[in-house]
Amino acid sequence: MKSTRSFLMIVSVLLLCATACTVSFTKKEYIKNYEDWIVLLKKNCVNYKEADWTTAEFQFNKYSEIEFNQLKNDLTPQEIQKVDSLTGQYYAIIAKYKASQVKEKLKRIMNTAKSMFEELQKK
């Protein structure tokens, strides 16, 4: 089980790196690559560690800043709307991840407080 999960993580990281190394040459390829990357991110983000999020942030900047700025003058309003939608989906994924981090931290704080009160009640 653990080796399967490790294998999946390695494949995901390799796919992200391979995607990061590719350059979208046309606006159609750019939108397709961005969309495929968002789908992959949604699928695998539940198992991401900090290093994976760093890689994701790099990839996001590539799509949302670098390539977008190269192609924005050639994009139709509908294509810009699609790019904006993909960007919004990325921010939603990040928000969910951050919320889960806060939830986990609060859970740890509650467990600590519970143990403290239990210990204080002992004679």
Query: CB under 8 Å to 41, separation ≥6 — which residues?
Result: 56, 90, 93
Model confidence at 5: pLDDT above 70: no
Which pLDDT score, from 0 to 100, does residue 36 have? Answer: 96
d(CA 14, CA 3): 16
Which pLDDT score, from 0 to 100, does residue 58 have? Answer: 95
Model confidence at 97: pLDDT above 90: no
- Dig out the tokens for 92 from the structure: 């939603």
Model confidence at 33: pLDDT above 60: yes
Read off the pLDDT band of 95 (50, 70, 90).
Answer: very high
Which pLDDT score, from 0 to 100, does residue 113 have? Answer: 83
C-alpha distance from residue 74 to each of 16, 58, 68, 88, 123 (Å): 26, 24, 10, 21, 75
Report pLDDT digits (tens) over 42-91: 998 888 888 999 999 999 999 999 999 999 999 999 999 999 999 999 99
Which pLDDT score, from 0 to 100, does residue 65 have? Answer: 94
Q: Identify which has the larger pLDDT, 19 or 33.
A: 33
Model confidence at 100: pLDDT above 70: yes
